[in-house]
């Protein structure tokens, strides 16, 4: 899952919100997915994991779970693990805007 075309410097310039499909394949081989809107790859993963975790039909999504993110326009597909997103959330922030964005996304993951 990757919306890597999004700017990683979250507050230095305006970043377009994009529609993305976030999905993963569970241990039984079943693909589960949701549609989200996000400004970055990492934000798309957090929103997607939170929405998927709320579904009683879906088993727990762990740190090693690999998620696919398909950006609708421009059509792009990326793959990333939840652990990679958690590492980015824990990394050093480049700006106050990025600090704020990461704090919000961290809280979303904690509440899921």
Lowest mean pLDDT among 10-24, 38-52, 82-96, 97-111: 10-24
Where b means 16+ CB within 10 Å and e means fewer, 51-86 reads bbeeeeeeeebeeebebbbbbeeeebebebbbebbb
**In this structure, is residue 8 part of a structural domain?**
no
Domain count, the chain: 1
Q: Is 90 exceeded by the pLDDT of residue 105? A: yes
> Rounded mean pLDDT of 68-76?
91
Q: Which domain holds residue 92?
A: 18-111
In this structure, is residue 3 part of a structural domain? no
Residue pointed to by tokens 């690999």: 66
Question: What pLDDT, in 10s, does the model give residues 5-59?
Answer: 333 444 455 678 999 999 999 999 999 999 999 999 999 999 999 999 999 999 8
Instruction: Quote the pLDDT of residue 15.
Output: 77
């Amino acid at each position: 899952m990757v919306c890597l075309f999004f700017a990683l410097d979250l507050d230095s310039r305006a970043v377009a919100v994009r529609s993305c499909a976030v999905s993963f394949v569970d241990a039984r081989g079943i693909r589960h997915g949701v549609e989200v809107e996000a400004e970055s790859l990492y934000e798309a993963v957090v929103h997607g994991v939170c929405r998927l975790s709320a579904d009683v039909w879906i088993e727990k999504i762990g740190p090693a779970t690999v998620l696919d993110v398909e950006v609708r326009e421009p059509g792009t597909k990326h793959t990333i693990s939840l652990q990679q997103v958690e590492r980015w959330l824990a990394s050093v922030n480049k700006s106050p805007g990025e600090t704020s964005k990461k704090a919000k996304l961290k809280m979303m993951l904690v509440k899921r």
